A and B are shown apart, each in its own frame.
Chain A
Amino acid sequence: MTSSPQIPLPAPTRLSQPFWDACQRGQLLVQRCSDCDGLTFIPQPACKHCLSPRLEWTEVSGKGTVYSYTVVWRPQTPAFPVPYVVAIVDLDEGCQMMTNVVDCDPADVHVGMRVAAHFRRMSDEITLPYFRPER
């Protein structure tokens, strides 16, 4: 159920490059607003709380809780081995991320499950931030 290298990989933009660079180092970054202190993810050109352009990258713990999930049996493309778990994770710091929950039986995934980021190198340029049960 792990993803193979053939899955479609992100094409970083100028805006998102720092996020993907940090994933290569095993760090999860989101944007913090210098004006209102609010967090924004996915990367944006302005704060989603106050529209300030003064955003700085900040590292988050990578720990969070499953907000919702689905176990996929009919893959988006054949590159995704089934079943795989798509989830929205509430990060402890307060923003939400879409991801795959890995390294566990899909039947064990549930709303409220504690998870932690788990990085997997997919190519020379891309390391993806998966999540797995918190240990």
Chain B
Amino acid sequence: MVRHGASKHPLHDVAIVGAWNTRQALRLDEHTSESITLEAIRGVLDDAGMTPSDIDGISAASGSRGAGMSSGHLAYLMGIGPAWTGNAAGGGINAVLEAAQAIAAGECHTVLIAAGSAGVYTERASTAPWTRPGNEFVVCWGLFTAAEFALIARRHMHLYGTRPEHLATVAATIRNNGHINPDAVYTGRGPFTPADILESRMVTDPFHLLDCAMTSEGGCALVLTTAERAGNFKRPPAYILGGARDTFGPAYHFPPTWDLTGWVGREAARKSFSMAGIGPEDVDVCEFYDPFSFEIIRQFEAFGFCGEGEGGDFIMNGTIELGGRYPICTDGGLMSFSHGGATVQLVQRVITGVHQLWGQSGNRQVPDAKIVMCTNGGAGALFTHVLLLGKERP
């Protein structure tokens, strides 16, 4: 629980009062990125009991990799101008913290964050377009996201003796959460044992197919407002306890070496815990970003849940399962719930965290969940963003 006496932080005056996903699917053939983003906006407003007139800020990661519509375009279409507009690259927790800071600073009071993607990944013989870097020192070597993260995992296995069974246990756990989630793209596809993961075909070793995130389509949206206004809406507030962002460089450009980026997120977690006046032991739910199984092991180490090199053993014996001490990716994560494009899944770690605090996670609800840790990114991409949310006002 939140220890009193922690210094009051400006972000503590900001709460999330809207968190909503559209339907997620491998393909949403009737949709474009624009139309699914707008469906998410209508959905979150309705679910939160709001109208566009309640909103005075908007944030959407635009372009082919994002919502398909810029923040400014959405402000115009929704008629909410003069509005604050977000510019956070990639969206996700980056956008949440950018918006929370703007609200805490008094520049705006209620911000809608939207993401959506459909019809972007059409050439299926290749890996998804957002996984293929164009850089001249990367592209010719056949690199893509999974290979970048595999280079990190391989080095950790070399240094610390982390085993494929550790990775497979993470993947099986996440996929089993998605298996029982009726809203997951891969609902009913399990259950999975670690052996099932290890028997799936190799993609880029040590990652088997089932160690990797899927590709899918969908939209989602969040609404942030002041703690003061939070009571005006239908959903209970999920308070921001802390958050911070670590970056070592642009993703998929420089070699992803363990020495450079292995502990990315450590400082962000330290800062976030410090803002919140809590530690890892206070976290009830871990909505960590799971592009690849190993990344979960790495994050537990980087965030201080266990010692360096101990992550493989730490996640064994049910620790990260529903009912365990630190349940992860309770919706099925990027592996089974959805990886709806280049940025949608970043926001969705936060959405699922909020749903846990609301008690709205159905058969995957963590009893009495009070503090959730949400993350984005990973060592292979040279960045990790952290957000801590709480049910009680800090």
Task: Please list the residues of chain A having a beta carbon within 8 angstroms of any beta carbon in chain B.
Answer: 3, 7-13, 16, 42, 67-78, 80, 84, 86-88, 96-100, 111, 122, 128
Determine if B154 and A76 form an interchain contact, defined as CB atoms under 8 angstroms apart: no
Nearest to A73 among chain B residues (CB) is B202
Nearest to A69 among chain B residues (CB) is B154
Nearest to A11 among chain B residues (CB) is B136
Cα–Cα, bound, A98→B148 (Å): 10
Which chain A residues border B152 with CB–CB below 8 Å? 68
Would you mind naming 15 contact pairs between A and B with Cβ atoms under 8 Å apart? A3-B140, A3-B142, A8-B140, A16-B136, A42-B137, A42-B254, A71-B204, A72-B142, A76-B126, A76-B144, A87-B151, A88-B151, A97-B255, A99-B141, A111-B154
Given contacts A70-B207, A72-B147, 17 further A-B contacts (CB under 8 A): A10-B139, A42-B137, A68-B152, A68-B154, A68-B258, A70-B147, A71-B204, A74-B201, A74-B209, A77-B132, A84-B142, A86-B142, A88-B151, A97-B255, A98-B143, A99-B141, A122-B140
Which chain A residues border B98 with CB–CB below 8 Å? none
Count contacts on B: residues with CB < 8 A to the other chain: 35
Cα–Cα, bound, A73→B127 (Å): 12
Nearest to A13 among chain B residues (CB) is B136
Cα–Cα, bound, A97→B136 (Å): 12
Interface contact tally, CB-CB below 8 A: 104
Q: Which of A42, A70, A98, A111 has the most CB of B within 10 A?
A: A70
Q: Known contacts being A78-B125, A111-B154, is A70 close to B139, with CB within 8 Å?
A: no
Determine if B205 and A68 form an interchain contact, defined as CB atoms under 8 angstroms apart: no
Q: Mark B197-212, 1 if CB is under 8 A from A, else 0.
A: 0000111111101000
Cα–Cα, bound, A43→B25 (Å): 42
In the assembled complex, B247 has its CB within 8 A of some CB on chain A: no
CB distance from B339 to the nearest CB of A (A): 16
CB distance from A10 to the nearest CB of B (A): 4
Determine if A74 and B158 form an interchain contact, defined as CB atoms under 8 angstroms apart: no
Determine if A86 and B151 form an interchain contact, defined as CB atoms under 8 angstroms apart: yes
Q: Mark B121-139, 1 if CB is under 8 A from A, else 0.
A: 0000111000010001111
Q: Which 4 residue pairs are nearest across A and B when measured between Cβ atoms?
A: A10-B136, A70-B150, A80-B142, A68-B155
Q: Mark B291-329, 1 if CB is under 8 A from A, else 0.
A: 000000000000000000000000000000000000000
Which chain A residues border B35 with CB–CB below 8 Å? none
Which chain A residues border B258 with CB–CB below 8 Å? 68
Q: Known contacts being A70-B151, A71-B205, A98-B143, is A76 close to B136, with CB within 8 Å?
A: no
Of B140, B155, B253, B256, the residue contacting A7 (CB under 8 A) is B140
In the assembled complex, B257 has its CB within 8 A of some CB on chain A: yes
Which chain A residues border B204 with CB–CB below 8 Å? 70-74, 86
Determine if A68 and B151 form an interchain contact, defined as CB atoms under 8 angstroms apart: yes
Q: Known contacts being A96-B255, A98-B255, is A75 close to B142, with CB within 8 Å?
A: yes
Q: Which of A71, A96, A98 has the most CB of B within 10 A?
A: A98
CB distance from A6 to the nearest CB of B (A): 11
Determine if B136 and A98 form an interchain contact, defined as CB atoms under 8 angstroms apart: no
Task: Please list the residues of chain B having a beta carbon within 8 angstroms of any beta carbon in chain A.
Answer: 125-127, 132, 136-144, 146-147, 150-152, 154-155, 158, 201-207, 209, 253-258
SS class, residues of chain A in contact with chain B: loop
Cα–Cα, bound, A122→B132 (Å): 20
Which chain A residues border B144 with CB–CB below 8 Å? 76
Determine if B254 and A86 form an interchain contact, defined as CB atoms under 8 angstroms apart: no
Of A3, A67, A86, the residue contacting B147 (CB under 8 A) is A86
Q: Known contacts being A16-B136, A42-B254, A88-B257, is A70 close to B154, with CB within 8 Å?
A: yes
Cα–Cα, bound, A128→B140 (Å): 8
Q: Which of B138, B147, B158, B254 has the most CB of A within 10 A?
A: B147
Nearest to A98 among chain B residues (CB) is B255
Q: Known contacts being A10-B136, A77-B126, A88-B151, is A96 close to B257, with CB within 8 Å?
A: yes
Determine if B141 and A98 form an interchain contact, defined as CB atoms under 8 angstroms apart: yes
Which chain A residues border B125 with CB–CB below 8 Å? 77-78
Cα–Cα, bound, A124→B201 (Å): 37
Cα–Cα, bound, A10→B143 (Å): 13
Nearest to A16 among chain B residues (CB) is B136
Which chain B residues border A76 with CB–CB below 8 Å? 126-127, 132, 139, 142-144, 147
